[in-house]
């Protein structure tokens, strides 16, 4: 009787694992299908950083536009609160600028090693299951909104810096929240609202010209 009960329990656990894997695969495919057909996306965002004994909350507007077959997508992050900042990439170069500063940082967009870069795969870059190793459900993480599900995985491109990424997915297969846990124990969380898809974005939004008298520094971008 005990052996039979144990066997039934093992079968139930195995069935649950298979069902969970199938759910993750189906969710990932649905998210891929949703974003891979978008040309552009505009959303309001809140960014929370926790690490090194400090916490920081910022907010603003983000624009994303699909890139070419071998070219990164375009991004524009306008931070409004508590301090104005600008992060912009035209798919070739990426810039980080704080109005009033006399310096601007610039790097090659294809070599961008930045916590914002995982968001580039949202618009037609590739498949979630390919981008995030070990993609699985995260039942231990409570979603912000009822009905959402949370997935976790490790980004291959940033595996030496990021320990895992959490994605909160809505019933409409939109990504409403991204949590990036880094190997040093810090975490950056993005929450998105008022998402508007396939909006017309002027090309100039993804271009940046340093103001006169501003020094351009090539290398890694600042936070």
For each of the domains in the chain, give its residue range(s) and CATH number, in order of start: 37-218 (2.50.20.10)
pLDDT by residue for the chain (223 residues), tens digit each? 445 455 444 443 333 333 345 599 999 999 988 988 888 999 999 999 999 899 999 999 999 988 765 566 788 999 999 999 999 988 889 899 998 888 999 988 877 665 555 565 566 556 888 888 999 999 999 999 999 999 999 987 777 888 999 999 999 999 999 999 999 999 999 999 999 999 999 989 999 999 988 999 987 665 5
Alpha-carbon dihedral of residues 168, 173, 176, 180, nearest 10 degrees? 40
User: Could you tell me if 197 and 40 are in contact, meaning their C-beta atoms sit under 8 angstroms apart?
Assistant: yes
- Cα–Cα distance for residue pair 39/62, rounded to 1 Å: 14
Helix intervals (H) in 80-153: 128-131
User: Could you tell me if 101 and 213 are in contact, meaning their C-beta atoms sit under 8 angstroms apart?
Assistant: no
User: Could you tell me if 221 and 94 are in contact, meaning their C-beta atoms sit under 8 angstroms apart?
Assistant: yes
């Amino acid at each position: 009787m005990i052996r039979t009960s144990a066997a039934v329990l093992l079968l139930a656990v195995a069935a649950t694992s298979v069902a969970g894997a199938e759910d993750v695969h189906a969710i990932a495919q649905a998210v891929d299908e949703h974003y891979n057909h978008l040309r552009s996306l505009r959303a309001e965002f809140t960014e929370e950083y926790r690490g090194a004994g400090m916490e920081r909350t910022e907010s603003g507007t983000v624009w994303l536009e699909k890139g070419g077959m071998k070219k990164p997508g375009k991004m524009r992050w306008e931070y409004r609160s508590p301090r104005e900042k600008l992060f912009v990439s035209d798919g070739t170069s990426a810039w980080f600028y704080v109005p009033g500063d006399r310096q601007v940082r610039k790097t090659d967009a294809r070599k961008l090693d930045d916590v914002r870069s995982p968001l580039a795969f949202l618009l037609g870059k590739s498949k979630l299951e390919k981008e995030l190793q070990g993609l699985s459900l995260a039942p231990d993480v409570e979603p912000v909104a009822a009905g959402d599900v949370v997935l976790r995985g490790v980004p291959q491109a940033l595996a030496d810096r990021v320990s895992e990424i959490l994605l909160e997915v809505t019933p409409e297969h939109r990504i409403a929240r991204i949590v990036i846990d880094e190997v040093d124990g810090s975490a950056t969380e993005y929450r998105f609202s008022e998402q508007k898809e396939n909006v017309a974005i002027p090309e100039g939004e993804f271009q940046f010209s340093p103001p006169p008298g501003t020094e351009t520094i090539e290398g890694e971008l600042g936070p």
